[in-house]
Amino acid sequence: MTINLKVWRQKNNADKGRLETYVVKDVSPDMSFLEMFDVLNERLITEGKEPIAFDHDCREGICGMCSMFINGRPHGPKQGITTCQLHMRSFNDGDTVVVEPWRAAAFPVIKDLVVNRSAFDRVISAGGFVSVNTGNAKDANNILIPKPDADDAFNAAACIGCGACVAACKNSSAMLFVSAKVSQFALLPQGQVERAERVEKMVAQMDEEGFGNCTNTGACEAECPKSISLENIARMNREYLSAKLLANKK
């Protein structure tokens, strides 16, 4: 296969940036999208040119590092997968593929396709954890948790923090990410002590980072590689309202 790439190149956050065109030949349909970039970078290095900077780590759909906007969609044309799980057989010989970084004020470009997602880390640091002593690890089924709650908590915890929800949202909202992190603790006994404080702090930090507001277009859920449900946003809104009502009673 031959793939015509149009890749966003940007030296740093101060640079204006531009799209550059590369023709990648002899692409195997069984290559992952990142492996195709590896082949291109090897060629660029051999030619004495600057390789394309992009994030990657596990390449198994777990870490969430491989954040690329491919032909206008976060992680590419397939649903329920990350960029590293996207294979070149998803494209046709001779296709033109446009690759860009996440576009959000809260995710400034570091270089080329690499963006700074430390805003997510600061949201987690604001309250996305359990700091109280909940005792040692218990045996399975020792703490009785309704099956629906356990399932919902597990599904929410599947969020890998890749930022696709922010990239897909026209408002660059982080509501799906934050609500997933709020939900995974709000649904379990260990998270009850800090329940109200957690949601207030995390929402406040989210707003401080400059993420936009949610207008319920559903693009975040549609593009999430882990299919995190919009129900988490509704749950977080309820949690936030309850926290504010509780605070007003004190």
Domain end position, chosen among 86, 110, 134: 110
**Does one domain contain both 230 and 138?**
yes
Residue 229 zone, left/alpha/beta (φ > 0; ψ -120 to 50; rest) = beta
The band of 78, judged by pLDDT with boundaries at 50, 70 and 90, is very high
What CATH number is attached to the domain comprising 8?
Answer: 3.10.20.30
Q: Is residue 175 within a helix (H) or strand (E), and if so which, with residue range?
A: helix 175-186
How high is the pLDDT of residue 167? Answer: 97
Mean pLDDT value of segment 173-198? 96
Indicate whether 90 and 7 sit together in one domain. Answer: yes
- For residue range 131-179, list pLDDT tens digits in order: 988 778 777 778 888 999 999 999 999 999 999 999 999 999 999 999 9
Mention every residue, 6+ apart, whose C-beta is less than 8 A from residue 192: 186
* Burial state string for 153-188 with b = 16 or more CB within 10 A and e = fewer than 16: bebbbebbbbbbbbbbbeebbbbbbbbbbbbbbbbb
Domain boundary among 71, 87, 110: 110
Same domain, 128 and 222: yes
Residues 106 and 146 in one domain: no
Cα distance between residue 176 and residue 232, in whole Å: 7
pLDDT digits (tens, 9 = 90+) for 19-31: 999 999 999 999 9
Domain assignment of residue 61, given as a range? 3-110
What's the CATH code of the domain at 135? Answer: 1.10.1060.10
CA distance 173 to 175: 6
Considering the chain, what percentage of its residues have pLDDT values greater than 70?
100
Portion of the chain with pLDDT greater than 90, in percent: 92
Q: Are residues 8 and 99 in the same domain?
A: yes
> How many domains does the structure of the chain reveal?
2
Q: What per-residue confidence (pLDDT) applies to 142?
A: 82
Domain shared by 168 and 229, yes or no: yes
Assess whether 177 and 140 both reside in one domain. yes
Which stretch of 126-135, 190-199, 214-223 has the lowest confidence by average pLDDT? 126-135
For residue 86, the model assigns a pLDDT of 97
Same domain membership, residue 48 and residue 135: no
Q: Same domain, yes or no, for 150 and 74?
A: no
Residues 152 and 205 in one domain: yes
Last residue of a domain, one of 110, 143, 163: 110
Is there a single domain that holds both residue 77 and residue 129? no
> Residue 250's pLDDT is what?
67
Same domain, 151 and 31: no
pTM, to two decimals: 0.93
Interacting residues of 37 by C-beta distance below 8 A, sequence separation 6+: 52, 54
